[in-house]
Amino acid sequence: MNVKPINCKYLAAKDSLNFICHEADIPEKAESRGRLKKNVKQISKLQRKLYAEDKYSLLVIFQAMDAAGKDSTIRAVTTGVNPAGFQVFSFKQPSKEELDHDFLWRTSKRLPEKGRIGIFNRSYYEEVLVVRVHPEFLGAQRITLPQNLDNLWQTRFHSINEHELHLARNNTIILKFWLNVSKDEQKRRFISRIDDETKNWKFSIGDLKERVLWEKYMSAYKDMILNTSRKHAPWYVIPADNKPYMRWQVARIIRKTLENLKPGFPELKPKDKANLKLYKTELQNET
């Protein structure tokens, strides 16, 4: 799915909508930064209410090709948010212990509890992306494979959909973002990492090896989105070539989602509220 930044539209995918924003609607970078700042300020206020209410949790999943800006976007959107109310987990190559369990196990352990925002930097979706592009990784998982591997991906889509539906039924709100960097922009950012000594550590020869498989990854992403975007767990496809715009869009969607929950600070029962005056008097009369 090579989404070119041209104009804005909605893409219907089964029973869901995938929001795709494009270049014609992108403001100047300074304006995007200002909008990001305003949205983050609102997220911070809403997060405090979410935490105090302790009724819902929010799970935010980021998937992207290398150099799309996942880390910087997560940092930009959570700056100023009380760290007691959110948590970030990155999922890379699975450990031996993780490979001894089903593919949803390692992420299930990191799901946010009620009142918190949980952020997954990559997730169980790697199992229908990287593993699909590299089916040789299935050997380490020691599972019974169907004769036609296409059936395996469909089975995993089904497992993911059931998993997310279960979470939604139990008050976990799910947002999924694909930060869709273009191949040309990825190339530019890779070269920047090579030219800038402070960014050398970000570059890996493995990045180039995966880049060669670009079309396979785009096909895998398209299939993933069409099969796993649901009303209770939508995918948001956002172009990532313009980082300020991308970050603002992510913050805007998170802010709007929290607003729709209408979280509020818990209210005391009338009797408990009346007793507050007695407690205040007691404190004031301490000797």
Q: What is the pLDDT of residues 188-214, one digit of tens each?
A: 999 999 999 999 999 999 999 999 999
Structure tokens at 266: 């818990």
The CATH number of 9-284, from 3.40.50.300, 1.20.1540.10, 3.30.420.40, 3.40.980.10, is 3.40.50.300
Q: Is the pLDDT of residue 88 over 90?
A: yes
Structure tokens at 199: 């960014």
- Is the whole-model pTM more than 0.75? yes
Average pLDDT over residues 105-134: 97
Q: Is the pLDDT of residue 8 over 90?
A: no
Average pLDDT over residues 158-168: 98
Is the separation of the CB atoms in 128 and 224 below 8 Å? yes
pLDDT at site 178: 94
Q: What is the pLDDT of residues 24-81, one digit of tens each?
A: 567 899 999 999 999 999 999 999 999 999 999 999 999 999 999 999 999 999 998 8
* Chain position carrying tokens 């799970």: 59
Among residues of the chain, what percentage have pLDDT more than 90? 81
Q: What is the pLDDT of residues 249-265, one digit of tens each?
A: 999 999 999 999 999 99
Q: Is the pLDDT of residue 165 over 60?
A: yes
pLDDT at site 91: 96
Rounded distance between C-alpha atoms, residue 223 and residue 152, angstroms:
13
What's the mean per-residue pLDDT of the chain? Answer: 90
CB-neighbour burial class of residue 247 (10 A; exposed 0-12, middle 13-18, buried 19+): buried
Nearest residue to 213 via CA among 121, 99, 135:
135
pLDDT at site 89: 96
